[in-house]
Chains A and B, each alone.
Chain A
């Protein structure tokens, strides 16, 4: 063991060894984190779908997570619809093919942009809300109190939020798809002189059932991710109010990153080479 001495060499520069140690620790922590979350997900799935169903809690959470997110969903969707139609229209105009604007925007919006964009905004909002609420409950021992009173915190707190996120997210994405299309119609009519009705017809024409399935599957997965990350971060909050802020911040990063990774995986799954 090294004893700190006054004539010891000055603090050594961070060398490659420290870096390597840091990498190891980080990887270790990440794996632990994923494992912990998977365990919580497993517990929720095992203990949640049993009597009593807790329908009141679930519907309350759907109200909190879903209905309260409709305004932001609407705004995000109409703008992404308008922006994408404008960008595609501009590019298509070079080929004199602006009349196919509906075809190209539909696939990009329904399959990709609406679910993903809503997941990183609305999904993150849901998840941070859960982390902040559950984290505060954790630091004030309310989660322990639920357990101490003989109830199951996973069943009482995690399950309703997870279900609500899985229900709310697909509904919001469905709503967002409609609104984004309206945004596209507005731009194609106003900017590129393509009649909104024609845009609508070509838009719907291009979409096949699998595209709706893909959109909704992504929404479901993103909703589940937001729900479980939000809850897990809340439950694993350490002591003190500062910790609540810290785990909430981590939730934002975790949801955004994992949504994109999951998005990649799902895209590869639905659109094989």
Chain B
């Protein structure tokens, strides 16, 4: 009998299949080279000096705390929204889903512009400012910009996470005497653990990397509303490559870490 290995060797290899694989590799190769360039071009001393500069330290700190705060806010909202979209049927569900998803396809700059107009001199903007929230050209604005940019990704991941949890587990919990809220806390949340981790890291990476929305709403002011992407942008325009490359590297490391953790959780987007 012919062994499986021999069969495979003698079997015809479809040119269609080979072609597709080659296309995938070509694009991957270009990306790998591009990412590699970010690490190969700068000289290490330059990067080290840039990291120690006041501007970089300010930018790193600001990015970290706004990113963490925005991520926390995103999770506080994406958990209930994801659960609602996964479990409940209600009037206007399609509308809610479309609008929340919209920023995925929306240019960041346009989103920033919309937020700027809303939080400017409108009724809504006045309500927020009377509550002590000033979003226009402030660090609070950075958080707002990051929040709206990252929210749709987190909501999507949370919805698909809850879709994968059998509602019958929740039914059983309720039949055993637990209310809907207790069931959510005891059953749905613990089972959604991986999805929560995945959507947290993706939300954090999106928050840290948000540029256009932040630029328009919070302004890209040197040492005031300067987060890492803004640092990259400002220094490119001054021709200060060391600073630009360093912020690029930091952002790249954050993204890699996020994608690595996301892949480990085996959650689908």
Partners in one complex: no
Q: Which residues of A contact B (CB under 8 A)?
A: none
